[in-house]
Chains A and B, each alone.
Chain A
């Protein structure tokens, strides 16, 4: 009789484990061997769909290399389109956390969505690895133990450019960026090193996001007497601004510099020759000369029909690499969220952009380098050619109180 009771008990336990997880012990045994669910909140429609696509492809490349599973757990990517709208992104985040019960969350592209999903992620103790959105606050006063970032803080590509532009281009600069938080953050980061290097901001302007006619601003830039411009625009704004800058004949007389997004491959083909000579700061360009990047570019092009990876693809690739390494270190057991966070924080590896590691103080990536890049026509097309670099660019993390 004793045996029967035991068998019954075991049977009941297995049933429970297979259906609803009740206790921590049962939950753990169900998770091992179960698929590793990764939720993606990214734009898959609209102008920014190309960013979501690149990030996803970067992840798929790394996961495919592992044969689609890690530590015995099949990798399951659940993709949700956030449409670049904060309410939609937040709703999709809740769905992934509450009904899909994802193990790890990644995304978004839009900083507004990141700020909107932050509390839900933090309160539900869901691990989020930010794979694009650059809102400084997530590495500052809104940082969270549960949130990591493999991409960048807005501060990172801009702060080193200030000193570089003052030294190598001009000390009289006109600043221009869209009128929203990221634009203002980036312009302020630039000034942090520009002003101490003797630079003077002649004037600054903040056109509305989604502006189509920059003529009034370009006339002001022309009349301002500035010798260089430091700009941040992305998407259609980047195309319109760069084309109109060229059409107004400013390119020859006033050097255009900016944050890397100004000339990333999502906008470069539409900007065409107007982009030639623009100097930008970014942590990546496919032309980087290191063995990991050579392999990354080759494998990416082989897998995705000749497409050259961009910074967004590198962000996705590194995000997947972080997940793979952390889950392996835990032998596939991701139930203990504290251990998962500790394992992620410890991950270090050779990324296409250089030696990748997180800042323990903020959980934000320490950029191995910010590359100063110039748009040139090489290898049969327009490319961001690295011409200089600044090492170990770490967000100051002001106001973030994670344990050091």
Chain B
């Protein structure tokens, strides 16, 4: 019945949800910004990550190995998809690419059903974080605290990668103007593949991270895609900072919406999106529209 612990607890809940959204949407926004592809199959990479994680845990009995290797598997699948299917479509109208990635949603869903079956599965929490802790009167599962710390660390690492390395500079240049970057002698095709694979791997990573909190089932990717797209719109296309800010805003808005106005919790995130579109159509950290 105490207000402050309640407030603090909900803020932590919102933070853990937001961080999860960030890991998912950052790949989507980078692919979007650089390749100009709305990858609707991004949610499928999230699903593939969860299922690859399931199998790796079943094989090794170790959550951490799954967390390391599942994203590599999904990244590999992403690289293949970009090379074999997306590349021939870059010169075609955007709608063709959207249709292609839409088709991949069904393809990946059927592959998952074929390999793992349609039953609901779930990843157990790693033993190290199976309990819950109480901080300032608010109880939170220790696994969610790990998710918060891990996600924020990933944000810093990605920021360093993109802002402080040569590879990052190329990616930033590619987001700004891919053609010009290619003209500077950069093998932009290879960068495209790396960015796409990296984005897919991040989605796979978020699938494993979400595994102990949520269940794994074949259409799971489709239901998480909408909030991820909203984050990208709010944050601004192609912006790392934007996807972090967007995720944290949506995480808090949805969590406090559920806590205080449960009937309108979904409405709230759409209102946030509408306000951003109205007053800053390019998104919080996006480039002004040309």
With contact pairs A207-B258, A208-B266 given, residues A235 and B122 touching in the complex (Cβ less than 8 Å): no
Beta-carbon contacts under 8 Å, B118-161 to A = 118-122, 124-125, 130-132, 138-141, 143-144
With contact pairs A47-B218, A235-B120, A247-B125 given, residues A216 and B259 touching in the complex (Cβ less than 8 Å): yes
**Alpha-carbon distance A307/B134, docked complex (angstroms):** 42
With contact pairs A219-B10, A267-B120, A272-B124 given, residues A247 and B214 touching in the complex (Cβ less than 8 Å): no
- Nearest residue (CB) in B for A247 is B141
Is residue B84 contacting chain A, with contact meaning CB distance below 8 A?
Answer: no
Partner-contacting stretch, out of A117-125, A220-228, A277-285, A291-299 = A220-228
* Chain A contacts for B13, CB-based, 8 A: 213, 215-216, 219
Taking the closest CB of chain B, its distance from the CB of A239, in whole angstroms, is 4
Is the contact region of chain A dominated by helix, strand, or loop, or is it mixed? helix
* Chain B contacts for A213, CB-based, 8 A: 13, 17, 213-214, 254-255
Partner-contacting stretch, out of B1-9, B28-36, B169-177, B186-194 = B1-9
Is residue A356 contacting chain B, with contact meaning CB distance below 8 A?
Answer: no
* Chain B contacts for A49, CB-based, 8 A: 118
Is residue B165 contacting chain A, with contact meaning CB distance below 8 A?
Answer: no
Is residue A88 contacting chain B, with contact meaning CB distance below 8 A?
Answer: no
Is residue A236 contacting chain B, with contact meaning CB distance below 8 A?
Answer: yes
Beta-carbon contacts under 8 Å, B199-221 to A = 212-215, 217-220
**Alpha-carbon distance A266/B205, docked complex (angstroms):** 27
Taking the closest CB of chain A, its distance from the CB of B130, in whole angstroms, is 8
A216 pairs with B10, CB closer than 8 A: yes
Beta-carbon contacts under 8 Å, B61-115 to A = none
* Chain B contacts for A249, CB-based, 8 A: 131-132, 139, 141
- Nearest residue (CB) in A for B257 is A216
Give the total of A residues in contact with B, Cβ under 8 Å. 36
**Alpha-carbon distance A49/B217, docked complex (angstroms):** 12
A236 pairs with B215, CB closer than 8 A: yes
- Nearest residue (CB) in B for A206 is B262
Chain A CB within 10 Å, residue with most, of B125, B214, B255: B214
Is residue A50 contacting chain B, with contact meaning CB distance below 8 A?
Answer: yes
B143 pairs with A247, CB closer than 8 A: yes
A215 pairs with B16, CB closer than 8 A: yes
- Nearest residue (CB) in A for B2 is A223
B255 pairs with A210, CB closer than 8 A: no
Give the total of B residues in contact with A, Cβ under 8 Å. 45
**Alpha-carbon distance A45/B112, docked complex (angstroms):** 13
Beta-carbon contacts under 8 Å, A352-397 to B = none
Is residue B181 contacting chain A, with contact meaning CB distance below 8 A?
Answer: no
Taking the closest CB of chain A, its distance from the CB of B207, in whole angstroms, is 12
* Chain B contacts for A46, CB-based, 8 A: 118, 218-219
**Alpha-carbon distance A222/B255, docked complex (angstroms):** 16
B218 pairs with A271, CB closer than 8 A: no
**Alpha-carbon distance A193/B254, docked complex (angstroms):** 35
* Chain A contacts for B130, CB-based, 8 A: 247
* Chain B contacts for A47, CB-based, 8 A: 118, 120, 217-219
Taking the closest CB of chain B, its distance from the CB of A115, in whole angstroms, is 23
A215 pairs with B120, CB closer than 8 A: no
A248 pairs with B139, CB closer than 8 A: yes
Interface bits A221-254 vs B (CB < 8 Å: 1, else 0): 0110100000000011001100110011100000
* Chain B contacts for A266, CB-based, 8 A: 119-120
Taking the closest CB of chain B, its distance from the CB of A221, in whole angstroms, is 11
With contact pairs A216-B256, A219-B6 given, residues A45 and B223 touching in the complex (Cβ less than 8 Å): no
B17 pairs with A215, CB closer than 8 A: yes
Beta-carbon contacts under 8 Å, A154-203 to B = 179
Interface bits B204-245 vs A (CB < 8 Å: 1, else 0): 000000001111011110011000000000000000000000
With contact pairs A215-B13, A243-B213 given, residues A271 and B1 touching in the complex (Cβ less than 8 Å): no
13 pairs, CB–CB < 8 Å, chain A vs chain B: A46-B219, A210-B223, A219-B138, A220-B259, A235-B120, A243-B214, A244-B141, A248-B132, A249-B131, A249-B139, A266-B119, A270-B121, A270-B215
